[in-house]
A and B are shown apart, each in its own frame.
Chain A
């Protein structure tokens, strides 16, 4: 398959990131063209709009960061939706200075349970995390009585999620912090190398002396913490937690990771790609809603974009 000359100089791992980046420009151009033709202005190119999109993207981005780690070791975490909700609900219920530590603890607990099931009992993560998700949902429904909890987010949660410094929302700084952590983790630590090794061939990693079970467990813990952190930020953004607040995030998170070039079978992918994938999805959603596209058309375009992006770069090499 012939590739554009512009991209041929890039390494195979960076190519998906570059393609997704180009696609973001295409989305912005198409959206701007639409608003220029219809309203005669270009709100999409204003810094305020872009910062707001990044703020919305921060929640998805933090979830996708954890999800990417799990996908890199060729597992998946479907317990994310109710880990998000549980983190938010616990934090708002505890309140006070212990709100955020309590929410993080929920994420750690879910991650440990997931990790034990997947790494030690060797149950396929697809089904085990699904069961954990159901249990978390049950616990939260029992805890809240099935209604939106009356407790509200603490001031710190609101400060971290909704407030701005010099016009930049703090949520973006949170995403940035998570991103720096992920990049250092994946590029500069032996843990990061172990992650890629397990994703490529777990047996080989084990024989090379990688403690595969502990690495897997820790990956699920990080994913759980990311999900509960995103949940608390979401609660801070919306000032309270609500039922099903995480449901809309799991599939976009997987899609963002895959669009960013991470192999769904694990072992390959760069974190920068995931960030670009998140921005692509958030912008796509936003531009489609500016175009007043009905839900039906949005779903179809969403599906087509995922297939298109994968056709361009995500094809696995095996015949």
Chain B
């Protein structure tokens, strides 16, 4: 039991974020005219998914003490690519999905190469590569457009029973075990799958631990014999892959591609905000992508509530900013208790 207590204490911040999310989300459902229904859950999950992917992607460079300003651009690039590729037969679509994921990972790998071999700071390197990816996206889609396969849009952006219906599973009636989960949003399942199949194994691998070690102290990590370059390359590639998944889903969700520069910038900035709310230190070394998912959820649920509680649309941006500011200021209050000022510097 003491082991459990230790784990709880170690994750106290994450737990408080989850509790905050749960409270605000319950409030939202209670006030929503169609609250506690699968339809509302599906809509919310779809709206959260892409940003959650970007926040996970952003977490990895942040854990190393860097920052990736290109996640929004990678998302936009894959979004535009997907709007060209996700049409035709099932095989073509499957290959298209694969190509999109490879593109995302490749973009991340290029980021990694510039950072590792060019020895340029991540924040400025990804600022530059981000411009290049946006340029490529604009080549693919000079104007918004494209029409994705309707089936994949329907299957991915609805509940699980619509997914199995579109795919053609259980054509002779839903089995008993499936019925309780039939209303779960497909995008939520996908989110859990990405977290458990990509993030958790990465976190436990040597490379994943090396990423944390680099964030704590790069010199110490180097002295301990960790392969710094490989860890950085892997980390950026993985970040690109996750951002690519976000872009893929955005294309599926909107059924089209749009090389929208302000949107890309907005997503990048929101991903940083999500990471911080999720409890990952911008100095690196501590935090997790799971926290970032809940950080995204908190950020999004607050804006959902604006819609319900009829706050004038003109005041919404200000409230969003104030919520963000107060969230990060709360975490800083311990600074006022520090006795030795030298502890403030790192």
B-contact 0/1 string along A241-283, CB 8 Å cutoff: 0000001000100110010000011000000000000000000
Nearest neighbor of A297 in chain B, beta-carbon distance: B135
CB pair B332–A310 under 8 Å, yes or no, is no
CB pair B328–A131 under 8 Å, yes or no, is yes
Cα A127 to Cα B142 with chains together (Å): 32
Cα A299 to Cα B120 with chains together (Å): 19
CB pair B328–A128 under 8 Å, yes or no, is yes
Docked complex: A298-319 residues within 8 A CB-CB of B: 298-304, 306-307, 310-311, 314-316, 318-319
CB pair A138–B114 under 8 Å, yes or no, is no
Given contacts A206-B345, A299-B138, A303-B131, whether A134 and B125 have CB atoms under 8 Å apart is no
CB pair A130–B272 under 8 Å, yes or no, is yes
B-contact 0/1 string along A121-165, CB 8 Å cutoff: 111101110111111111101100110000000000000000000
Which of the residues B259, B314, B342 comes within 8 Å of A206, measured between beta carbons? Answer: B342
Q: Which residues of B contact A139 (CB under 8 A)?
A: 318
Given contacts A131-B324, A296-B139, whether A141 and B132 have CB atoms under 8 Å apart is no
CB pair B124–A306 under 8 Å, yes or no, is yes
Given contacts A130-B324, A203-B342, whether A307 and B318 have CB atoms under 8 Å apart is no
B119 within 8 A of A: yes
Q: Which residues of B contact A121 (CB under 8 A)?
A: 329, 332-333, 335
Nearest neighbor of A244 in chain B, beta-carbon distance: B262
Nearest neighbor of A304 in chain B, beta-carbon distance: B132
Closest chain-A Cβ to B5's Cβ sits at a distance in Å of 30
Cα A294 to Cα B262 with chains together (Å): 17
CB pair B136–A300 under 8 Å, yes or no, is yes
B341 within 8 A of A: yes
Which of the residues B128, B142, B315, B341 comes within 8 Å of A307, measured between beta carbons? Answer: B128
CB pair B132–A303 under 8 Å, yes or no, is yes
CB pair B131–A296 under 8 Å, yes or no, is no
Number of interface residues, chain A, beta carbon within 8 A: 55
A117 within 8 A of B: yes
B-contact 0/1 string along A84-126, CB 8 Å cutoff: 0000000000000000000000000000000001001111101
Cα A78 to Cα B341 with chains together (Å): 27
Q: Which residues of B contact A145 (CB under 8 A)?
A: 314
Given contacts A127-B273, A142-B314, A145-B314, whether A122 and B120 have CB atoms under 8 Å apart is no
Cα A117 to Cα B345 with chains together (Å): 15
CB pair B135–A299 under 8 Å, yes or no, is yes
Given contacts A130-B324, A300-B136, A315-B120, whether A306 and B127 have CB atoms under 8 Å apart is yes
Nearest neighbor of A259 in chain B, beta-carbon distance: B124
A295 within 8 A of B: yes
Closest chain-B Cβ to A278's Cβ sits at a distance in Å of 16
Closest chain-B Cβ to A83's Cβ sits at a distance in Å of 13
Nearest neighbor of B131 in chain A, beta-carbon distance: A303
Chain A interface residues (CB < 8 Å from chain B): 78, 117, 120-124, 126-128, 130-139, 141-142, 145-146, 202-203, 206-207, 247, 251, 254-255, 258, 264-265, 294-304, 306-307, 310-311, 314-316, 318-319
A-B contacts, 23 listed (Cβ < 8 Å): A117-B329, A120-B335, A124-B276, A124-B283, A126-B282, A128-B328, A135-B325, A142-B318, A146-B314, A247-B262, A254-B124, A265-B121, A294-B138, A294-B142, A297-B139, A299-B134, A302-B135, A303-B129, A303-B130, A306-B127, A314-B120, A316-B119, A316-B120
Chain B interface residues (CB < 8 Å from chain A): 67, 114, 118-121, 123-125, 127-132, 134-139, 142, 218, 222, 259, 262, 269, 272-273, 276, 282-283, 314-322, 324-325, 328-329, 331-333, 335, 341-342, 344-345
